[in-house]
Structure 1
């Protein structure tokens, strides 16, 4: 589990190492909402593909030495001895957005990050519409439905039918 301090520490670490990163996934939803809405098992980060080694080395030095899932070039999940997990999503591009290579040969476009808030601090994060697009193509869990409902209530982002509340 990661808390707000952990997230900010990781973002500071990557910035100091010269690696751009923006928050995605559950923490990204919370950043857009501006408050922590639930516990988070991991921290999803979009990173630039050409800075992946820098990011990985910095995180390794900080104790994230366990490779949990190596699905490169799509994703790399690493963890530390405290059970904290970081899921890196490399994109080919720049801090203005990029393309993530998917396992089926397709690409997923991440636009430039927007600004969210974690722990009272402004952080770069994935925009609301892209958060919704990241939640398509699979059967949503209760956690996914709750995240999307909170995101919709906070930002007004349009949700697909799979995420619309049932009457």
Structure 2
């Protein structure tokens, strides 16, 4: 069970840039994932986003959460929350979906207990993109497509996968054709 962003919430480009400044101030490296990660790779916002998905190493989490808390963010307390995946939000404002990873001996980012077998392969956070003219680290295009192909996608996923495949010359997975 994963986190669930509350209905009707929007996280704007300005919100994303503000969160990135908080991470900078906390010395926390983030990798943009999810819809904003797709838009970062494309270099433009393609749609509205309910939240900002970020991967963060566990060592950077306390400083980043402290910075978010100082900026009036608080835990959402959603049913699917876990220490390795949870939401923080400002009242009536943006939502950040935190994916907390621990690097293993091979450099893979392990999300949660090892028995969950949820891993960001070492090569996956090698993407670079832009949001609002700012360069950001994000999930690499081929891994965005692979991660999307691991679950049944909806219309938004289909649009994201097609856009990434077209921009980066990647094959479209069978379920998205």
What is the correspondence of 1:1-167 to structure 2 with a 5 Å cutoff? 1-69=10-78, 70-73=81-84, 75-93=85-103, 98-101=109-112, 105-110=116-121, 111=123, 112-164=125-177
Superimposed CA distance per residue, residues 70-129 of structure 1 (whole angstroms, 9 cap, x where no aligned partner): 2222x11111112311101111129x7622236962131243432101111211111111
* Gaps in structure 1 of 5+ consecutive residues: none
State how far apart, in whole Å, the 2-side matches of 1:150 and 1:113 are.
19
The equivalent residue for 2:6 is: none
2:129·2:138 contact (CA, 8 Å) conserved in 1? yes
Give the 3-state SS of the residue equivalent to 2:52 in structure 1.
strand
Number of aligned residues:
162
Query: Residue 157 of structure 1: SS of its match in structure 2?
Result: coil
Query: Quick check: 1:68–1:79 contact (8 Å CA) kept in 2?
Result: no
Gap runs ≥5 in structure 2: 1-9
In 2, the alpha carbon distance for the partners of 1:3 and 1:34 equals 15
Larger proportion of strand: 1
Kindly indicate whether the alpha-carbon contact (under 8 Å) linking 1:43 and 1:86 is maintained by their aligned counterparts in 2.
yes
Deviation beyond 6 Å, 4+ runs, structure 1:
none
CA distance in 1, matches of 2:98, 2:21: 15
